[in-house]
Amino acid sequence: MTGRAVLVTGASRGIGRAIATAFAEGGDRVAIHHRDSAALAEQLRDSLPGDGHVVVRADLAAPDEVRAMVDGAADRLGGLHVLVNNAGVFTGHDILETDYEQWQRQWRRTVDTNLLGPANACWCAVRHLREAGGGRIINVSSRGAFRGEPGAPAYGASKAGLNALGQSLAVALAPYGIAVATVAPGFVETDMTNEHLKAERGAQIRAQSPFGRVARPEEIAGAVHWLASPAAEWASGTVVDLNGASYLRT
């Protein structure tokens, strides 16, 4: 299927940029969401194959902005068939090193962005997907959803919540032809992981996979693109663990 209207959050860079590119290369029209990277988003819009791509802006932690983003994307693309909740924030905060106020701030920012933002985007998008006769929602979670993130507990918890959100909505929305799936990558080479992947720590991280490397954004994008395809309806409710055989060695 081509010519669908697809909204990708956090699409100006990293995994989101690769996802937007995969949909455009497949013949779809993409709404490229950003928060504060208009120039990058516009540059991507102008470089994507095909016509009709648009740029939309929102702080995902602001519910009114999320609604305006989804409705604006649907309005400008002439409907909506696919929502990809990709944007997210990683906040490291050691429970023993963080004071109580910082702890509150980090949790609120992380949960507002990684869980409430996607939940609100789903609420708004579902109205448009139903109008289109069905559609797809794909959420970008993390390996941290399965095992937690010791130095970033709000991140792991927010992503575990995202997994459960996808499973809940997969059941609720199947009768309307809407399939909902989740991808849970481990380390991917992006701005989010730049620091982690340096020097000795980087070597340790790469060694976790028997391939001796971390993922490229395009490898996550390929899975998202397939999960959003008509062939993947039966994958609804799944959480796809994209980790290059990491964590399997005894």
Residues annotated as part of the active site: 155
Q: Is 13 in the site for ligand NAD (CB under 6 A)?
A: yes
What length is written for the chain? 250
Q: How many CB atoms lie within 10 A of CB 14?
A: 20
Copy the structure tokens of residue 2.
């081509």
Q: Is 241 in the site for ligand NAD (CB under 6 A)?
A: no
Q: Is 35 in the site for ligand NAD (CB under 6 A)?
A: yes
Copy the structure tokens of residue 157.
């918890």
Nearer to ligand NAD, 132 or 192 (CB): 192
Q: Are strands 54-57 and 5-8 parallel, antiparallel or unpaired?
A: unpaired
Q: Are 78 and 4 in contact (CB under 8 A)?
A: no
- Candidate segments 5-13, 45-53, 93-101, 128-136, binder of ligand NAD by CB under 6 A: 5-13
Q: Is 63 in the site for ligand NAD (CB under 6 A)?
A: no
Distance (Å, rounded) from C-alpha 239 to C-alpha 250? Answer: 23
Q: Which of 21, 182, 190, 209 binds ligand NAD (CB under 6 A)?
A: 190
Q: Is 191 in the site for ligand NAD (CB under 6 A)?
A: yes
- The dihedral sign for the CA sequence 191, 237, 2, 175: negative
User: Which residues sit at the interface with ligand NAD, rule CB under 6 A?
Assistant: 10, 12-16, 35, 59-61, 86-90, 113, 140, 142, 185, 187-188, 190-193
